[in-house]
Structure 1
Amino acid sequence: MGCCDAPGLMPIEEALDKMLTPITPVSETLQLPLPEALGFVLAEDILSPINVPPFDNSAMDGYAIRLRDLEKSTTLTMVGKSFAGAPFEGEWPEMTTIRIMTGAKIPEGCDAVIMQENTSVEGNSITFNQCSPKANMNIRPTGDDIRQGDVVLRKGARLTARDIPMIATLGISHLTVYRKPKVAFFSTGDELRPLGTTLSDGQIYDSNRYGIKPLIENFGCEAIDLGIIPDCQETLKATFEDAQLQADVVITSGGVSVGEADYTKDILEELGQIGFWKLAIKPGKPFAFGELDHAWFCGLPGNPVSAVLTMYVLVQPLIAKLSGHSEWKAPESIPAITRSAFKKAPGRTDYQRGIYTLEDGQFVVETTGNQSSGAFRSMSLANCFVVLERDRGSVEAGETVQIQLFNPTLF
């Protein structure tokens, strides 16, 4: 143990290794229509059955020409038209040109397309003001984007809104994907009240489920909301037993610290086994990971920022592996210059909320203010995490720190 390690606290890197090593991706697959496949993970490579584009086509509105004709005269007679979906048919006499539109099929024998802005038109007489076009100018060749047989997406890719129209250009109507993991979640605590009710002394609104559910869905999972569970050991045990029969992963919020009414640890030891219970992370130290009889378990701290942070840093990579999302990558760390001080004590890796900007090519970052694990406005204001190393102390303005820009799951 190093001098800056907090006794009994597991480093984040070790925790992630313990979480990810035993995870086996889901194997069940589905055949889905393309419009329904958004957000699913591919269970097989997608190979293009066709060339894209499937024929040589025009990149411009203009005129199809043969270079040898234009060498003889800069004025040619228009004898036909080629539109997208309605190509020119018939013979193409010498010393003539064909009107062509963007995306239209290139007539046989065409060497180049001259954009209409470089022409003068009098009836069917077309004068070309650019008299030295190059071969294949403004022609998009067959397979210029995708060649038949190309692997366009690999197994393990999660389908995005950018992928769906690309797949549609290939004429593929159905995809083989992995089913989405099911994640059951609930909050624990007698002090929690649902939205729309009146608070009594000592009570607070349950906000964590409203942060956890969109993250589960943004991670590509099916979310099963089991609501608020009171601090009753029998009720909590029954909820765990029900949850693990419905889901691949069970996530709780609260009940993982050391309070007298925190029963989660005892129940886990009865229904499964605990992998670890305390991490060298701030906020989020009382994060728990374990295995139930039929599901994995992640116990989030009760403080709102801690819950979202541990979902983002720890649960997200677990879900990615479980989903078969082999192309998932952890957020990249980027050096930035601080514009404000950041208070910190050595012993835990600290994820503080920051606001970054880019100035003259350099990332700069400042604090969002209150960094309390219960102050969720700091998350709402932030656009990045300022990741302060475990053995690092407080940071003054002007120092270099590492930041992680929020990935799309937090937007």
Structure 2
Amino acid sequence: MGCCDTKGLMPIEQALSKMQEAVTNVCQPINLPLADALGYALASDVLSPLNVPPFNNSAMDGYGVKREDLEGADKQNPLSLTLVGQSFAGAPYQGNVATGECIRIMTGAVMPSCVDSVVMQERITLNDDQVIFTQVPKLGDNVRLVAEDLQLGQCVLKKGHKLSARDIPLLASLGLAEVSVFRALKVAVLSSGDELKNVGETLLEGEIYDSNRYSIIALLSRLNVEILDFGIIRDDRTLIREALLRADEQADVVITSGGVSVGDADFIKEVLTEIGTIGFWKLAIKPGKPFAFGKLGSSVFFGLPGNPVSAMVTLYQLAVPTMATLAGFKIKPALRLKAKCTTFVKKSPGRTDFQRAIHTVDDNGQLIVQTTGSQGSGVFSSMSQSNCFMVLEEQRGDVLEGETVMIEPYNALMD
């Protein structure tokens, strides 16, 4: 049974495409001190305001020479040059270096124009002011050239790039005290259900703890977003309507879990139809078929399923990439790798299946993977034990031991 045979279910790729087409960046540019900009998306290209390095400098502690002065030097015929000065980082040598002379030079120090190569200090013998060389360096040896890394005006980082811990020192090396970034996305999170209780409260018969809100907020906290926690909303049409309206006023994105199925007490779909619009409700993915996407008055709405694993999978695979566009980030495709499956995996064609799995490398260096066991959408321990999704294609059936499958290792949001 293929997708066309699965009535009313939209493939995940089509859903992602539709969501990306339906949203645009809603976050305005702001200027932030460089030290506070980690995790933000750049609001414009960053162009280098200077050459890096800004001058020719030594890559080693050693001796600055004119290569031609050492022509013919070897262990049998050592040559000596007279030491006439020194160049330190921040204290350049100011004099001339004539034929037959050299200078002491340290790492990062300015290379005087009158020398062209640096010989490492370990490769010379010093005798008072005479420096003895036993080999000829290559022209330009151990010299960092001006603009070797970055040229004045060169694009260093592009608009939409997420600033990482690797980028901050790069921008600091350019002397940038602040950067233009998009403000943080505001995300309202709420859970729906009479059966839900906050952690720490006593459970009565038929009640469960609200784990979804914790998993959603935990994952979102790894993003650069401002989280507004609206707590648990009872299965009451009026209360749900009031909560969604308040969330819409305060946030760019509203995320709910539960209440998007077809039960008699699932009011979110009904309320959303009144105060907003619904993009779609049923997707050809497992777990997570009852996923809602739409818009309220001024915010984008994601309705996640109530089952814990389904909520996490749809948040990670569908909501997060769409929120990245809303926040101005440049979308990067998820890393997927081929691996050998070491266990039998049961699957029916018709939906893309995200199985919780564990990938390792065997003794032969082969990437292998196995599921965590039970794949029920309420078995959240399987998420905790896993380190990747085994992504089984929509049309695929059972996977036999030894077959090749695609895996998607968890990124920093899930680790």
Partner of 1:216: 220
Separation of aligned partners in 2, 1:312 and 1:390: 18
Partner of 2:137: 133
CA apart distance, 1:361: 5.1
Separation of aligned partners in 2, 1:355 and 1:29: 40
Partner of 2:336: 333
Partner of 1:149: 153
Q: Deviations over 1:44-83 (max 9, x none)?
A: 1111110000011111111111123323862223232212
Partner of 2:75: none
CA apart distance, 1:27: 5.1
Aligned counterparts, 1:274-285, within 5 A: 274-285=278-289
Partner of 1:118: 123
CA apart distance, 1:215: 2.5
Separation of aligned partners in 1, 2:146 and 2:218: 43
Instruction: Identify which of 306, 311, 314 aligns with 2:310.
Output: 306
Instruction: Identify which of 104, 110, 134 aligns with 1:105.
Output: 110
CA apart distance, 1:288: 0.8
Moved over 4 A (4+): 1-4
CA apart distance, 1:90: 2.2
Separation of aligned partners in 1, 2:5 and 2:59: 62
Q: Deviations over 1:359-392 (max 9, x none)?
A: 4454221112221211222212222111111122
Helix, strand or coil: the match of 2:256? strand
CA apart distance, 1:34: 1.0
Partner of 2:406: 402
Gaps of 5+ in 1: none
Q: TM-score, normalised by structure 1?
A: 0.94
Contact 1:190/1:231 (<8 A) preserved: yes
Contact 1:5/1:348 (<8 A) preserved: no
Separation of aligned partners in 2, 1:152 and 1:230: 50
Q: Deviations over 1:244-269 (max 9, x none)?
A: 00111100011111222211011111
Separation of aligned partners in 1, 2:3 and 2:94: 82
Q: TM-score, normalised by structure 2?
A: 0.94
Partner of 1:390: 394
Helix, strand or coil: the match of 2:24? coil
Deviates more, 1:200-209 or 1:119-128: 119-128
Separation of aligned partners in 1, 2:365 and 2:20: 36
How many residue pairs align between the two structures? 409
Contact 1:5/1:390 (<8 A) preserved: no
Separation of aligned partners in 1, 2:66 and 2:251: 65
Contact 1:219/1:320 (<8 A) preserved: no
The alignment's C-alpha RMSD in Å is 1.8
Separation of aligned partners in 2, 1:229 and 1:125: 84
**In the alignment, does 2:201 pair up with 1:202?**
no
CA apart distance, 1:122: 3.5
Identity of aligned residues (%): 52
Partner of 2:350: 347
Partner of 2:179: 175
